[in-house]
Amino acid sequence: MKTPRNARAARPPQASASDPDASAGAGKTQRGIQSVEVGARLLRVLADARVPLAPSDLAAGAEIASSQAHAYLVSLTRLGLIKRDALSGRYEAGPLALRLGLLHLAQEPALRAAVPRAAALARAHNCSIALCIAGPQGPTIVRYEHASLPLHVNLHVGTVMSLPATSTGRVFCAFLDEAALRAMWANQTAQPVWSGTTDRGPTVAACAAATTTEGTAASKHDGPSPSHDAAFTATLDAIRARGFEFGIDSPSPGVSSVCVPVLAPAPDPARKPAAGPQPALHLTLTAVGASGVFDVRPSGALVRALRAAAREIAEAAEATFPAPPASPASASN
């Protein structure tokens, strides 16, 4: 008697490259599903571009034939990882990709601690509060608490801030590690970023004469790092000394801002988190408000509240990485 086709045992799926139990030996190369990895190449091309792409551009970036890419794009769309604009035919990130990104961010201890404090700051001081983390193209807003009064500024979740032209960007320049800053700086020369409503231009190379209230200017930078500009280096030294940065009517007229970094404590050899070394800069808190009623004085209530919140966030994030128990030798000393 023949066994019906639908009753035959299904072939076991291939082991995923991310499955730690898929390999019997630690040094043995794990098998993966090639089609999944090809689809991931299309997703990476889209993520790197940061703009909707045509199918032909996605196929070229992933180095596969357009006919082959079409089948992958159909499946990725069904999954919700990408979506297709009906008018332009271009593809962009889908709802599932957004949910995964937000899930990843929600696991960051500093961001979890910062969200309720940002909301409290916005209510107490009647200003907007932006939480920014380091993205590939620059400081990126991942949470934005709106003030009760409207502001003539186009900031929202996903906005990438200019490094030299915004107070947030300059704080990142002052406190981000050199390797990450160089990569971010290079990416901003080729990608549009938010640099206010003035005519300084959309890229780092065009952001000239962005002046702070001390009179120091962030001049035009054409290289891969701001460290080559003496005036801008002096500005960053001043930011590190006072612990925050601010801008009045800059880069948008009528709008001022104060940015405070949330910093990890100095590295301690005795404390090594399981997830690896902690970054020096967790995120930034940026308060945005109307210039006429915005207090940027170091001794003002807003600056003091921002700095206190930054310390609380850093302590809360640090508490999630408890120190290892003392060794018997150290305990006896």
pTM of the model: 0.69
- Sequence-ordered strand ranges (E) for 24-171: 82-84, 91-93, 128-134, 139-145
- CA pair distance 253, 257, nearest whole angstrom: 11
Q: What is the pLDDT of residue 328?
A: 46
CATH architecture under which domain 108-319 falls: 2-Layer Sandwich (3.30)
The three-state secondary structure class of 287 is strand
Q: What is the pLDDT of residue 199?
A: 41
* Percent of the chain with pLDDT strictly greater than 90: 49
- CA pair distance 242, 246, nearest whole angstrom: 11
Q: What are phi and psi of 188, to 5 degrees?
A: -70, -20
Higher pLDDT, 203 or 178: 178
Residue 101 has pLDDT above 90, yes or no: no
Domain ranges of the chain: 32-97, 108-319
Within 10 Å of residue 169's Cβ, how many Cβ atoms? 33
Q: What are phi and psi of 206, to 5 degrees?
A: -100, -5
Give 10-51 pLDDT, tens digit per residue.
344 444 444 444 444 456 778 889 999 999 999 999 988 878
Give 220-244 pLDDT, tens digit per residue.
344 445 556 788 999 999 999 999 9
Q: CATH assignment of 32-97? A: 1.10.10.10
Distances (CA, A) of 104 to 98, 280, 284: 10, 19, 18
- CA pair distance 325, 328, nearest whole angstrom: 9
Fold match, 32-97 / 108-319: no
Residue 98 has pLDDT above 80, yes or no: yes
